[in-house]
Amino acid sequence: MNLHTNQTVTRRGLLYGGIAGGAAALTGVTPAVAEPASRFDLETGKWIGLTTANGWPILSTAPLLPVEGIEGAEVALAEGWPQLVLTHFIRRYAYELGGRFETGDVMGHRKSRQIKATFESNYLSGTAVEIRPACYPIGAGDGLFPAEITVIEGILADFEGVIAWGHHMDPVKDAHFEIAVGPEYQQFPETSEDATAPDPGEARSFGLSMSRRDETITASS
């Protein structure tokens, strides 16, 4: 992934800029500086702007909630679709790879704009999570076994591109998972009931079913 984010220029922005510039020329008053486009400032290592790289608004806070069915797992995420989708993904991850989560193994929303890559800005909007970040730090892409990668890829396939994985990003970060579509996306489930497939073998209903896969890895395997 390119660490640079191009500044988007809209017709409305050009029009506003032209009006503001003309007014300044006539009155001698300097117009207010507009909010900078969202981007990664390489000099400071900080994210700038009001939205994150995936297009979601930056949040000052996000509710902390337990991940249902997984002891010791709590995560702060944006309310609504991000909560529903990402907590379900975390359940699938824990269930199909096995093992328990300890404190700090699941991280979501954060306030600090200090980041190491563009995709890490998505924590600011509560639309991305880290799973076992201490085990899979950014830049280290060799912490998972091939069988584990296969299981994770299978889970992600069920989400049909709605969740992206840091394993495929640059720099690599195997702990990172994010909502890969913007808030205007129209195919999110509205409730947990809508998100659960009535027949996992036939209708995946956005892939949010808890059906056990043959390749599931457990702690005892």
Over the stretch 26-40, which tens digit does the pLDDT of each residue have? 334 444 455 568 999
Does position 137 have pLDDT exceeding 80, yes or no?
A: yes
Does position 54 have pLDDT exceeding 90, yes or no?
A: yes
Q: Where are the beta strands (DSSP E) in 25-71?
A: 39-41, 46-48, 64-66
Report the predicted TM-score, pTM, of the whole model to 2 decimal places.
Answer: 0.74
**Domain locations along the chain:** 64-207
What is the reported pLDDT for 190?
59
Does position 74 have pLDDT exceeding 70, yes or no?
A: yes
The per-residue pLDDT for range 172-202, each reduced to its tens digit, is 999 999 999 999 988 776 555 555 433 334 3
**Higher-confidence position of 66 and 22:** 66
Mean pLDDT on 136-162 = 92
Mean pLDDT on 158-162 = 89
In whole angstroms, what is the distance from residue 107 CA to residue 87 CA? Answer: 11
For the sheet with 128-131, list strands across it: 106-107, 128-131, 176-179, 163-165
